[in-house]
Homo-oligomer: A and B are copies of this chain.
Amino acid sequence: MLACKLASRSPDSNNNTIIKIKTAGKEISIGDGNCTIIAGPCSVESREQYLEIALILKEMGVDILRGGAFKPRSSPYSFAGLGTEGLKILAEARELTGLPVVSEVMDPRDLDQVAAHCDLIQIGSRNMQNFSLLKEAGRVDKPVLLKRGLAATIEEWLLACEYIMDAGNEKVILCERGIRTFEPLTRNTVDIGAVALVKELSHLPVIVDPSHATGRRSLVAPVARAAMAAGADGLMIEVHQHPEEALSDGEQSLTPEQFAALTERIRAMA
């Protein structure tokens, strides 16, 4: 019934896609049954801020560093990231820690420079149906992290994924980050059933972003645990040295201490 093809699990096979990322300091396998942990601040705010948190997170055993250089913001008057300078800081953090880095691309014209500086390319919720961008991402030799659109059905999400795969890039990781509902107390409503259903309907790795999904610091840990219990292959979590001073999304960022407590429990579950 679903119109999806490439992303669908072939009926005679249990072979899940495993996506490997290798840097000087680390080799990651996403989708191999372990929990891949991606962490970092919402935005790269400055060289000092980012390198400091990167080293802290490396110490804590994070697998991949995140940080926004090109930030989609609802208002044109909000901080929109450092752009190319942010990418250079990410590359420096990668060098310093040996960890792979992921950052978002919003414009097909920025894709080459994002791919040049990052190990994993993120396409965000607002661009899940930016078909030009999806097709360009299909021509790049880097894995793509495709977030679900905030009102995208599961079928549309899988079809967006097929745009990338159909254009030649089979290395796609899906990321559930909450959908928009009527509930005002949380930023979004994480669709925990979708995590299990997408694992059933496709052979691709699925991770969950409990930070954007809830928008409330206190809910990040329970939703992260729930995601792993539902079968997710990893987590993407916002961590900031000083959440109250963050230039974006501070209210949903964990402190390093809170994050350490969370990862400890996640690893105990596994």
Q: Which residue of B lies closest to A107 (CB)?
A: B132
Contact B193 A186 (CB under 8 A): yes
Contact residue among B200, B219, B228 (Cβ-Cβ distance under 8 Å from A196): B219
Given A72-B129, A129-B126, A131-B72, A185-B163 contact (CB < 8 Å): no
Q: Determine the distance from Cα of A150 to Cα of B163 in the docked complex, in whole angstroms.
A: 20
Query: Any chain B CB within 8 A of the CB of A44?
Result: no
| B residues near A195, Cβ cutoff 8 Å | 222
* Interface stretch (choices A35-43, A153-161, A241-249): A153-161
| B residues near A167, Cβ cutoff 8 Å | 76
A residues 60-118 in Cβ contact with B at 8 Å: 72-77, 80, 106-110
A106, A108, A197 — most chain B CB neighbours (10 Å)? A197
| B residues near A223, Cβ cutoff 8 Å | 192-193, 196, 230
| B residues near A127, Cβ cutoff 8 Å | 129-130
A160, A191, A227 — most chain B CB neighbours (10 Å)? A191
Q: Determine the distance from Cα of A180 to Cα of B213 in the docked complex, in whole angstroms.
A: 17
Contact B231 A229 (CB under 8 A): no
| B residues near A74, Cβ cutoff 8 Å | 129, 155-156, 159-160
Query: Any chain B CB within 8 A of the CB of A169?
Result: no
Given A76-B166, A132-B106, A182-B180, A150-B151 contact (CB < 8 Å): yes
Contact B192 A183 (CB under 8 A): no
Chain B proximity of A40: nearest CB distance (Å)? 22
Given A75-B159, A106-B130, A131-B106, A222-B213 contact (CB < 8 Å): no
Chain B proximity of A144: nearest CB distance (Å)? 14
Contact B184 A194 (CB under 8 A): no
Query: Any chain B CB within 8 A of the CB of A235?
Result: no
Q: List 25 A-B contacts (CB under 8 A).
A: A74-B156, A74-B160, A76-B163, A126-B130, A127-B129, A127-B130, A130-B130, A154-B183, A180-B182, A181-B191, A183-B194, A186-B194, A189-B191, A190-B191, A192-B192, A193-B213, A193-B216, A193-B222, A196-B223, A197-B218, A222-B229, A222-B231, A226-B226, A226-B229, A269-B269
Give chain A's interface residues, CB within 8 Å of chain B. Answer: 3, 5, 72-77, 80, 106-110, 126-127, 129-132, 150-151, 153-156, 159-160, 162-163, 166-167, 179-186, 189-197, 200, 213-214, 216, 218-219, 222-223, 225-231, 269
Shortest 8 CB-CB distances between A and B: which pairs?
Answer: A151-B151, A196-B222, A229-B229, A107-B132, A226-B226, A225-B229, A126-B129, A226-B230
